[in-house]
Amino acid sequence: MKRILSIILGITLMFSSLNTFAGEGMWLLSMIGKNYEEMKEQGFKLTPEDINNVNQACLKDAIVGLGNEGRPFSHFCTAGIVSDKGLLFTNHHCGYEMIQEHSTVEHDYLRDGFWASSLDEELPNEGTTASIMVRMEDVTAKVLKDVTGEMSEEERNKAIKKVSDELIKEAEKDNDYIARVTDMFDNNQYFLFVHIIYKDVRLVGAPPEDIGKFGGDTDNWSWPRHTGDFSIFRIYTAPDGTPASYSEENVPLKPKYHMPVSIKGIEEGDFSMVMGFPGGTDRYMTSYGLKETMEVVNKWRYNIRSIKLDILRKDMKKDPKIKLQYASKYARSSNYWKYSYEQNIALRKLNTMGQKQAMETKFQEWAEKLQSKKYMDVLDTIEVVYERRREDALARQFLLEALLIGPDLPIFSFQSISFLQQLKNEDLSDEERQKAIEIFKEKAKEFYKNYNPDTERMLIAALFDYFADNIDRKYYPEVFAEVYDKYDGNFEEYKEDIFTKSFFNPKSIFADEESMMDFLDDPKAKTLEKDPIYKMGTSILSMYRNVSGKMNEKSKSLERARRYFVQGVMEINKDFQFYPDANSTIRLTYGNCMGYEPRDGVVYDYYTTLDGVMDKADPEDMEFDLPNRMYELYRNKKFGQYTNDKGELPVCFITDNDITGGNSGSPVMDGKGNLIGLAFDGNTEAMSGDIEFEEDLQRCIIVDTRYILWVIDVYADADNLLDELSIVKN
């Protein structure tokens, strides 16, 4: 929003530079034509039609959003198609959970890596989806055709939904597509997105995590970086090419387009573009929203997860089995643990609050000069909403982080509600009842595979106690009343009772896999309904929903106020080309490869090499350990064809491309559309980027295709994968 702020403040000098700075902006593909001249000046060699074209194959046909069945549009990562057999490149951390799920103590693919030497060896991942956009359309006029200014927000939303449902139904008629209508600019604009979603995505290759996760938490969100953050998957279809769930009869996807992979390399100043599915930004956020983000969300996410991660870290060191069980959970939790901490530092250091407040002052002056009733009360309304919901927001954050997603059992116990209803249903036949039992038994086996009772005990005691110490009693779930009545508020005693069998108190059926399977041999509804962990989970979720409902009630006027605020900002600057906040829809960003100067006396180069990996390597530190083969290859200088002009093996590089979460795994391309790397991270100095783009500091951290191919080729000897790729050298 630095550009938007500059315009509002009327700073002529800064305004004159707006059209030459390329880094900022996550652009909808339909907007690229308006940026074309600037992109050409930066080094773009293609045309807008080469990026987005409904009638012929183009780059967008090779950009894949990775999601989960049931939530296919909530892309957790991006991938790129790199072969005519549906091969995908994405990040190692994007595939981390799937790699872990296929691992055992005896065959630990996280530790040792995994390389399928044939299609038969590729591993299915139930529930993972791969989404490719077919087309997009601005449907604002259609969606808002029956909307009037006199409508309440509820009436407005109903009218919008009615038209949106009709558009979706029409778009999905007589085809295999899935569509959605998505708002942009805080409900000021609407687009229809039509996707084809594949349901059979298989693991093909991954380096050991000592390569793919090199640097761990220490290097996370940091530059210089030396992480080989990539993994390889493949999309499969039914024999006729249509989307299908996993089957042995399925065949590799024949994509419309796949990207050539470049080993030419990139120099400072070279053009770069990133295409992917960024999850969410909030650059039109007001200072009042920023205050809640910093003081409620970021602060307490960091504090609560610090307790959780400390417990996991210590337990994972004790036992290889526990380490494997909690590897993915730890990685998921630690990523935004550090992000929250670093974002608050960056926001304070860059005075983002001051910039937001200055923008709001100018907005208010404009509204009052215009004497617009529509805009004059907007900021007052937003301020009041955030103030009156503050206590509820804090309680909800604690309920979420400490109780719902802190330990594992509350969510799992709540997931048994539908099973309980089936057990209580007297109309079910014996066959239907047995089927319900078998389905839940499979769900339980999957849960307990990555569960350790002693770890869970410690998480419950520590996190529940922390919640009780920091949150007003009126927000306590019902289970807390029992702990205070029966155990005098001692959560250590409480967790011992629910996990330990005694004469007076049988332990919970959820306590461990053995207890659950014993229960499922002859499950009784009353046993489940009275179970202490079942009651714990349902009471926590009940309170969470209650608090969320109160927040929503207190926030009713916020949606309209935010919509008017963004509308006003755009009205002030009619000639400026705005880009919408990220929302998991496909975007393109363009910029240049460049280093940066984070602080006085410090200058960062734009790339790193294998020399830096070896400088950091430390066998005594699990975050910086390396496979023995890496040392051997380095000593013998076996770098193959992947070196730069200096004879170095490049590992990572940085650009000023604008990215955020969801862009992980996004293909990074040169001006010709050749793949030159995979985006995987941002830098701590610009952790404010989701809220405020910082042109001098914000960098996209990318793993170089030369390092990816070197690991596949020289390290892993996976020639079968290399043979699939279209490798270009210029």
Catalytic residue set: 93, 229, 664
Distance of alpha carbon 1 from alpha carbon 25, whole angstroms: 9
Distance of alpha carbon 676 from alpha carbon 593, whole angstroms: 11
CB 116 within 8 A of CB 205: yes
Contacts 24+ apart (CB under 8 A), 640-649: 640/710, 640/713, 640/714, 641/263, 642/263, 642/706, 642/707, 642/709, 642/710, 642/713, 642/714, 643/706, 644/265, 644/609, 644/706, 648/609, 648/610, 648/611, 649/609, 649/610, 649/706, 649/707, 649/710
HSE, CB side, 13 Å, CA atoms: give it for residue 73: 14
CB 252 within 8 A of CB 85: yes
Contacts of 347 (CB under 8 A, 6+ apart): 290, 294, 353, 687, 688, 691, 692
Distance of alpha carbon 678 from alpha carbon 667, whole angstroms: 5
Distance of alpha carbon 80 from alpha carbon 259, whole angstroms: 8
Strands (E), 593-640: 596-599, 602-604, 607-609
Distance of alpha carbon 258 from alpha carbon 81, whole angstroms: 5
Helix ranges (DSSP H) in 352-472:
352-370, 373-376, 378-388, 390-398, 409-414, 417-424, 430-449, 453-470
CB 649 within 8 A of CB 642: yes
Distance of alpha carbon 271 from alpha carbon 45, whole angstroms: 10
Residue that is written with structure tokens 């410090």 in the block: 602
Paired sense of beta strands 231-237 and 189-198, if any: unpaired
Q: Which of 587, 675, 702 is nearest to 276 (CA)?
A: 587
**Burial grade of 119 (CB within 10 A; 0-12, 13-18, 19 or more):** middle
Q: Is 658 left (phi over 0), alpha (psi -120 to 50) or beta?
A: beta
Distance of alpha carbon 539 from alpha carbon 414, whole angstroms: 9
Query: What b/e readout covers 606-626, taking b as 16+ CB neighbours within 10 angstroms?
Result: bbbbbebbeebbeeeeeebbb
CB 277 within 8 A of CB 587: yes
Position 678: which residue type?
L
For residue 715, the SS3 value is helix
